[in-house]
Amino acid sequence: MKIFSEELVEEARVACNVADLTKATIGETILLAEYLQKKTGIPFIRMDQGSPSLPQNRFGIEAEKAALDRGVGAFYPPADGIPEVKSAASDFVKAFLNVNVSARSCVPCTGSVTGSFASFIACTQRVSGKDKVLFINPGFPIMNSQLRVLGIEWKEFDIYGYRGEALRDKLRSVLSDGDIAVISYSSPNNPAWICLTEEELKIIGEAATEFDAVVMEDLAYFCMDYRRDLGHPYEAPYLPTVARYTDNYILMTSSSKIFSYAGQRIAFIAISDGLYDRVYQPLADRYHTTGAFGPTLVAAILYMITSGCTASTQYGYAEMMRLACEGKINFLEDVKVYSQRAAAMKEIFCRNGFHIVYDKDVDEKVGDGFFFSLGYGRMTSSELVRELLFYGISSISLATSGSLRDGVRACTARVTDGMYELLEERVRNFNEDHKIL
């Protein structure tokens, strides 16, 4: 039995200025859910926005307070970051990835979204004729939106049919055109939580070197693959990364999920030392610099976007990373609840006729984490998003992530233990009404 009528959902669509329910963006879906909840008083199961729901790390808070008490708020921070956060970022990469990146090449940014925005600009302007981005999908749709703003073209493919060794030929077929400047993906992945294997990352790294493309590796969900114990600094196993297989990389990290520090908008990008120093004449001509990649990205591009990161927040971030490297805090244990929620939610959905769309990492069952993907029978992505709304469940279409498979993205962040009974009831009603179309 539906919770919300066709008429009420249509009223919400009109009131929220949503042109088409089947093509609603994340922001539009949030507005629809909030409108219906406020209108009726009936709570929604919110699987839409990937916003953290755990308390922020207290060590970051105290370090920020101390920094403000010292008066750092009265001065502009350095464009490339305070020494403390750069050093801590370098150590953090070494501790959990076992990769050497100098402090100089680690640059804080106001969220990894800002880091990717600036990196897309620098990477697509460094070599004449190399001005397109390749997305290995499914992926974070905000990045596509960034390219629309910048007027940068992109190519894409869904990795579902190209896992393992099959990825090599697919990459070569796209890169051989010679116009790809960037290869972009996330791992663990938003929206499907797939994780690229060492074999696949080696293939990507070798292709990036051969075809002179920069890999932008989004590590927003840093080490959150709970199938392996990745949380011990300077101890194997380490987080798989393309940085072991090419010198053409930019790693993007974030404090939002692992430290539950989303509201402070702090992250860092780690540029390989070799790429940081590489000189490109097109950058020199455009920005009247030496053309060195790293300094140009920081001073001529990133600074024009944000003029640096909030000083006190950098001190908070530095302290959290420092303590993680010293083994004094275990950020993976702090956020493990997301994995536990995913396992519980998957069990409820799959018991009631749903299936996991991206279910494997090559030959291994996909892990449990912040996101997962759901399909139902032969329903298209847009149909499933729309139908779930009638049952008080909000989600995001996989189609918005570049996926060629039908289904939705489910986020675990806002579904707490006390909501499982309600989720069970609504999913069961959905299944009874649709009977695996």
pLDDT at 169: 97
E strand intervals along 193-326: 214-218, 249-254, 267-271
338-380 tens-digit pLDDT:
999 999 999 999 999 999 999 999 999 999 999 999 999 999 9
pLDDT at 28: 86
Question: Is residue 290 over pLDDT 70?
Answer: yes
Percent of the chain whose pLDDT exceeds 90:
85
Contact 75, 311 (CB under 8 A): yes
Between 1 and 434, the higher pLDDT residue: 434
Question: Is residue 141 over pLDDT 80?
Answer: yes
What pTM did the predictor assign?
0.94
pLDDT at 232: 95
Average pLDDT over the chain, rounded to an integer = 95
Between vectors from CA 58 to CA 302 and to CA 415, what angle results, nearest 5°? Answer: 85
What is the length of the chain? 437
**pLDDT grade, residue 436 (50/70/90)?**
low
Question: Is residue 301 over pLDDT 80?
Answer: yes
- 12 burial via Cβ count (<10 Å: 0-12, 13-18, 19+): buried
pLDDT at 437: 59
Question: Is residue 70 over pLDDT 70?
Answer: yes
pLDDT at 265: 94
Contact 215, 269 (CB under 8 A): no
Rounded-to-integer distance, Cα 381 and Cα 374, Å = 9
Mean pLDDT to the nearest integer, 126-136: 97
pLDDT at 17: 87
CB atoms within 10 A of CB 67: 22
Mean pLDDT to the nearest integer, 392-409: 93
Between vectors from CA 175 to CA 172 and to CA 178, what angle results, nearest 5°? Answer: 135
Q: Which domains does the chain have, with CATH numbers?
A: 6-54+334-434 (3.90.1150.100), 58-325 (3.40.640.10)
Between 374 and 386, the higher pLDDT residue: 374
**pLDDT grade, residue 108 (50/70/90)?**
very high
pLDDT at 305: 95
Looking at this protein, which amino acid is placed at residue 351? R
- 17 burial via Cβ count (<10 Å: 0-12, 13-18, 19+): exposed
